[in-house]
Structure 1
Amino acid sequence: MHATTAIVTGKPATSRPRGGMTKKRPIDWLMLALVVIGALLIIAPFYLVVVNSFKSPVDYATSGPLALPETLDFGGIIKFWERVNFPEKVWNSLFIAGVVSVLAVVISMLNAFAIGIGRVRGRSWIVLLFLLANLLPQEALLYPLYYMFKSVGLYDNVWSVIIVFTVIQAAFGTYLLSSVYGTFPKEILEAASLDGASRWQILWRVVFPISRPTLSVLLIFFFIWTWNEFLIPLTFLASNANQTVPVAISVLQGDRLMDVTTTSASALLGIIPTLIFFLIFQRTLTRGITAGAVK
C-alpha cells in the first residue's frame, strides 16, 4: 500500500503507527503526569476517610491513618449514627435541598424568560443586579436576616433556610439562563405565536422542553450546593431537630470532642447521600452539559 502511494504521488511513503495513533511528545507525558498527580490528590482525602471510618481507636493509634484496618470496626459509624440521630438529619437536608432546588429552578426559568425572551426594559442592568447578588458574601446577610426571621417567627424553622437559599440560587440561575434565553431562536417563538400560543404556552410547551437539559444541570447543582451549605443553617437552625448533616457533624465534633475514627465515619456518612444522588443523575448531568454542543 505504501509502495503504491509512493508511485502515484511521487513522494516517499511514510509509515504510520497502527490505529492512527501519533507518537507521544514530552509535553503529552508531562500533562499525563500532572493529571495523575491531580487525581491522586483528589482521591487521597477520600481514601483517608474510608479507611479510618472502619478502624477502632486502638487500631488507629497503633497503625496510623494511612494503613488499612486490621479488622473492620463499625463502632465509629454506630456511635455517630446514634449520637446525632442521623436519619433525621438526612431528612432535613433532603427536604431543604430538594425544595430549594425545585423552587430555584422554577423561579430562575420565569425570571430568565421575562428578561431574555420578554425583553423587559433595562435588561442589562437587571442581569447585572443578579450578578452582584451572587457576589454578595453570606456573612453580610446574617445580621439583617436574623432579626427579620425573629420578627416574623421563622427563626429556627427550616423554611427560613429554604427562603434564603431559594433566593440565592435563583439569582445565579436567573443570571445564567438569561444569557441562554437571550440567544433563543426567534423563528421558533414567532412560529408558536402565529399558531395562537400565548406567552404562558410558549414558556411551557416550547421554551421549557428545549431548555430541559440546562434546567436539569441547574437542579443537580442547586441540590448539591444547598446540601453542602453550612453557615446559614448553623445560624438559623438552632435546635437539634432542625439541623442539617453538615451542621450536625461540626457541632458534634466541637461539643463532644469525638475521636478520629468517629469523625471519619461522620464525614463518610455525610458524603454518601450526595454521592448516591450524583450517581443517579450522572447521565442527566452529562446530557445537560453536552446538549449545548449539538445544534
Structure 2
Amino acid sequence: MLAPFAVVALNAVKTPSDYAAHGPLGLPHAISFQGLSDFWNRVDFGQKLFNSALISGSVAVIACALSLLNAYALGIGRIKGRVALLIMFIMAQTLPQEALVYPLYYLSKQVGLYDTRLSVIIVFSVIQSAFGTYLLTSVLGSFPREVLEAAKLDGAGKWDVLWRIVLPVSRPTLGVLLVFFFIWTWNEFFLPMVMLLSNGNQTVSVSLGVLQGQNMMDATMTNASALLGILPAILFFLIFQRTLTRGITVGAVK
C-alpha cells in the first residue's frame, strides 16, 4: 500500500534530468525541491489548500450536525413517515453526481451562488448528511428507552435529551463521520470543477486535474503535484486515526 506513495515521493524530489536518466524507480542522486516549488507557485497552491480545507472542514461539521438532528428525529423521535424518509435518504446516496450537476448549476445561477465556495459547501453538506442520517438513525434506533424515560421524569426537554444524553453517547460515531466527510469532500472533483470557475475559488483536486490536462508539467512536477495533493488528507487521517478506531470499535464490548 505504501509502495505507490513512496514512488511518488521519490520522483517528486528528483530533477527532470535525473528522472530522464534513471527512470521512475531509480533513487534520486540529489534531493531537489524545485518541482515542488514550481508547482506551488504555478497554481497558487496555498490558496487552493485554504479553499479545500475551508470547504472540507465546513462540510464535515455541518453534515455531522445535520445528520445528528435528522437521526434524532428519525431514530428516537420516531416521527410519522420515518420509513419513507429513510428510503429517500438512501436513494439520495444512489444518485450519480452527473444527474445532479445541471439542476445544481441552474439553481446556483438563479440564487447568485455560482462560483462561490458557499455553493459547494451547501451541496456537499446535504449530500454527505444523507449517509450520516442513515448511519446515525440505525445507531439511535437502538438507544435505550429507559434512559430517555428517566431523563423525561427528571424534567429534561427534547433539546436537553439531545445535547446532554444523545450527543455524548454519539460522539464516537460522529467522530468517524467527521473523518469520512472531510476526506470524501477533499477528494471530490466533478462538482467542484463545474461549480468553481474562478482560479481563486478552486480546490486542490480541481487545480491538479486542470493543470495536468493542459500538458504543462514534466514528470517530476506531476509527482510533486500528486504528493502535495494527497499529503494533507493523509496527515488529517493520521491525526484523527485514534478517533476513527474508537468510533469503529465502540459497542463491540459493553
* 1:172 matches 2:123: no
Alpha-carbon displacement from aligned partner over 1:39-84 (angstroms, at most 9, x marks no partner): xxx2222122111101111111110111111111111101101001
Q: Which amino acid in 2 is paired with 1:222?
A: F
Q: Which residue of 2 aligns with 1:8?
A: none
Please, which of 154, 177, 187 is the counterpart of residue 195 of structure 1?
154
Greater RCO (Cα-Cα under 8 Å, separation 6 or more): 2
Question: How far did residue 257 of structure 1 move?
Answer: 2.5
Question: How far did residue 106 of structure 1 move?
Answer: 0.3
Question: How far did residue 147 of structure 1 move?
Answer: 1.0
Q: TM-score scaled to structure 1, two decimals?
A: 0.85
Q: Which residue of 2 aligns with 1:293?
A: 252
Please, which of 32, 55, 77 is the counterpart of residue 36 of structure 2?
77
Q: Which residue of 2 aligns with 1:45?
A: 4
* 1:245 matches 2:204: yes
Which contiguous aligned blocks of 4+ residues in structure 1 show a shift greater than 2 angstroms?
Answer: none
Please, which of 60, 83, 99 is the counterpart of residue 140 of structure 1?
99
Q: Which amino acid in 2 is paired with 1:244?
A: T
Q: Which residue of 2 aligns with 1:157?
A: 116
5+ residue gaps, structure 2? none
In 2, the alpha carbon distance for the partners of 1:258 and 1:202 equals 56
5+ residue gaps, structure 1? 1-41
Q: Which moved more, 1:156-165 or 1:44-53?
A: 44-53
Please, which of 211, 224, 235 is the counterpart of residue 276 of structure 1?
235
Query: Secondary structure in 2 aligned to 1:71?
Result: coil
Q: Which amino acid in 2 is paired with 1:193?
A: K
Q: Which amino acid in 2 is paired with 1:81?
A: W
Q: Which moved more, 1:81-90 or 1:255-264?
A: 255-264
Q: Which residue of 2 aligns with 1:16?
A: none
* 1:236 matches 2:173: no
Question: How far did residue 294 of structure 1 move?
Answer: 2.4
Question: How far did residue 200 of structure 1 move?
Answer: 0.6
Q: Which residue of 2 aligns with 1:213?
A: 172
Task: Give the alignment's Cα RMSD to 1 decimal.
Answer: 0.9
Q: Which amino acid in 2 is paired with 1:143?
A: Y
Question: How far did residue 279 of structure 1 move?
Answer: 1.5
In 1, the alpha carbon distance for the partners of 2:87 and 2:136 equals 13
In 1, the alpha carbon distance for the partners of 2:51 and 2:124 equals 14
Please, which of 60, 67, 73 is the counterpart of residue 114 of structure 1?
73
In 2, the alpha carbon distance for the partners of 1:115 and 1:262 equals 50
Q: Which amino acid in 2 is paired with 1:288?
A: G
Structure with larger Rg: 1
Question: How far did residue 256 of structure 1 move?
Answer: 4.5
In 1, the alpha carbon distance for the partners of 2:185 and 2:143 equals 29
Question: How far did residue 108 of structure 1 move?
Answer: 0.4
In 1, the alpha carbon distance for the partners of 2:88 and 2:25 equals 48
Q: Which residue of 1 aligns with 2:57?
A: 98
Query: Secondary structure in 2 aligned to 1:174?
Result: helix
